[in-house]
Structure 1
């Protein structure tokens, strides 16, 4: 569910007409719904209300300060994967004890910053990283709380580029080595082992891969406790998918996911952490673009938009599908025609859809990409010296620009000319 609906034939973001935002900020732009963000966070929080838990928003999905602050005020923790994301979370007012640090390549500088600023735990990805965390913590005279991310070799049945729980993936340590690695961690003076971490991938549309992974985590918990480790927290990752197409079977609900967690690991008495990102923010955002030209080609027609792959790279990178709808609602029963929907970047890969059936569309019309809140703005770039597009947050009948579009001068002036030129 989202809060982008047609009213009187015009697409609205909550109570604000999308065309009104376009007139104020120009196209293309991202717009997010506060009501959708909060609803989706609450669904996860409620799904785990049977025991102690923390929902840590995976801020790599969308990391604007306004989004982080909205979720933090609702009680969310944050899952960060870089020093920059850690700094963003702290700048948004999230206390260190509600920040989990994930990611396979934590540097000594990032580890130090998190230990000084406060951290709930590091999710350790490898033995060398574990030793590095202990070394930095010891030098600071503190003890770093850690979980160790285990790779359960479970096929998440998702896109190969976002699968993280198979043996050939770069993430975590093989679960077969876990007991030996935990034994080493317990012997390092700068570390305090508090739990286990697992994350098998993103955009999962079935619960069975989660079940397989969590059953392995439950077995490992019992083994580690028998070895003398105090396992009090289970970080179960995120990855629950969203329905990018309305015709597809809907992914499981957060309530179903919560029931599965209770069934597989609830008997262990551990505090549960989950790290949803896409499901919280994906359907909470749309990308709005304007048609520049309608072009007739050889055997196909094109809608050329002012948005491009640098603004929304998911279709080019993942062959991802986004529903693309007109901001002005078409008449019922109107004839549809196939179009390739493309951007102006000088790459054939700058294609959002091929042969997409669309209602009659003219130059100047506004189109909206649904389900664009996750991995949209955060993955955008200034390729072709195209400015990053504005981000807008809506709450009820109000909207605010939460990231402005830079000018060409601002982009160019970031460059520095050597003195010999």
Structure 2
């Protein structure tokens, strides 16, 4: 089954017409396909069967409880970057023993919560963080499992805002310092060295950066073995891209085969941290055309979704395909697709040829990753609803916010 397909001129999510969803649940609404989520996870896993592995979904890509629960049922672990994400994983039925905790700014309380939950591993990103984990673990009388997130200074060839593996990025420890830090960690009484972690960026569409980074990591593993520090797992991170427009990222089978070939004969568990790759093309954002504003130099399609609903275009100048959800007799024109937020940067697409009229619905594609998770209430706008389609069933997995919800925690002055 194709997750998003056209039947009789109407775009569907699995067996449900998107127009019916838009009319019943209003817009903006995020729509996800259960079959797409499930099949994508299984395709990623297919090349790893027979090898000890754990696929840790990067929660930041899409933290919906329903999606986390679905992946947990499929056997996934989770890559988290905050205490809040740990709480979400647990609330969704995820196993803390399959959680790796990344991020450069872990607080005392976050470290304590993770230790008490019994997570799989901390991905440590600085010497000061290592000392803090030792202190918190000692206070609790626990042993903290760690890996160092090693920064290999490899160019991921992606947008600079989502590149994380260069020496000028804030993430990880410098490759040149890693050996010494591991030796320090091995001497700490409440630290257990379990692995090596490397994550070089996101939306990577070439295979070579992954392999170059892994070569450096494997050299470090060999140096650690010579010093009697034995690694139980290698975390190769995430970052495999998706097709938004004309990108050609490596197929999962090609990617996993190349990684496993590098690891052949080493006898270590391999961890992956895919996020966007699993959810990006499993979701669309539905929006309604409120006004068509025709001008001398540009035409504007003003829709009810905005930069607060989908931040990526404003933040990265990112491209998302935008289509109508039903055939229209209207003549196509070129539009700037923009929202009602009071910012010139509030756009969802430039120069799009669309046959539309006021009141029509549009689908913004490839919105399953970093859509709802990055949304905000800017301009006091309620965040969108989320639904998940399973065959011919539509499940509301997040109710639309109400305006009163946005200031219920606020107080006026006495």
State the TM-score, normalized to the length of structure 1: 0.96
In the TM superposition, residue 357 of structure 1 has moved relative to its aligned partner by 1.8
Q: Does 1:398 align with 2:406?
A: no
Counterpart for residue 285 of structure 1:
283
Post-superposition Cα deviations, 1:229-287, rounded to whole Å, max 9, x if no partner, equal: 01110011000000001xx2421011111011112223321100000000100001100
Divergent runs of 4+, >6 A: none
Q: Distance in 1 between matches of 2:413 and 2:269?
A: 55
Counterpart for residue 408 of structure 1:
403
Matches within 5 A, 1:305-384: 305-329=303-327, 336-358=332-354, 360-384=355-379
Counterpart for residue 296 of structure 2:
298
Q: Distance in 1 between matches of 2:151 and 2:263?
A: 17
Matches within 5 A, 1:138-149: 138-149=138-149
Q: Distance in 1 between matches of 2:388 and 2:188?
A: 46
Q: Does 1:389 align with 2:384?
A: yes
Counterpart for residue 81 of structure 1:
81
Post-superposition Cα deviations, 1:63-118, rounded to whole Å, max 9, x if no partner, equal: 01000001100111011000000000011111211111111111110000011112
Tell me if structure 2 keeps the 8 A contact 1:60–1:375. Answer: yes
Q: Which segments of 5 or more consecutive residues in structure 1 lack a partner in the other structure?
A: none
Post-superposition Cα deviations, 1:316-335, rounded to whole Å, max 9, x if no partner, equal: 0000000000000357xx96
Q: Does 1:198 align with 2:236?
A: no
Tell me if structure 2 keeps the 8 A contact 1:315–1:351. Answer: yes
Counterpart for residue 38 of structure 2:
38
Tell me if structure 1 keeps the 8 A contact 2:302–2:337. Answer: yes
Matches within 5 A, 1:130-169: 130-169=130-169
In the TM superposition, residue 218 of structure 1 has moved relative to its aligned partner by 1.0
Matches within 5 A, 1:123-134: 123-134=123-134
State the TM-score, normalized to the length of structure 2: 0.98
The residue matched to 1:106 in structure 2 has which SS? coil
Counterpart for residue 53 of structure 1:
53
Tell me if structure 1 keeps the 8 A contact 2:72–2:95. Answer: no
Q: Distance in 2 between matches of 1:267 and 1:219?
A: 15
Tell me if structure 1 keeps the 8 A contact 2:328–2:356. Answer: no
Output the aligned Cα RMSD.
Answer: 1.3
The residue matched to 1:371 in structure 2 has which SS? coil
In the TM superposition, residue 312 of structure 1 has moved relative to its aligned partner by 0.3
In the TM superposition, residue 418 of structure 1 has moved relative to its aligned partner by 2.8
Post-superposition Cα deviations, 1:334-355, rounded to whole Å, max 9, x if no partner, equal: 9642111100111100011221
Q: Distance in 2 between matches of 1:335 and 1:239?
A: 40
Work out the number of aligned pairs and report it.
Answer: 414
In the TM superposition, residue 196 of structure 1 has moved relative to its aligned partner by 0.2
Q: Which segments of 5 or more consecutive residues in structure 2 lack a partner in the other structure?
A: none
Counterpart for residue 263 of structure 2:
265
Q: Distance in 2 between matches of 1:242 and 1:92?
A: 26
Tell me if structure 2 keeps the 8 A contact 1:341–1:351. Answer: yes
Counterpart for residue 18 of structure 1:
18
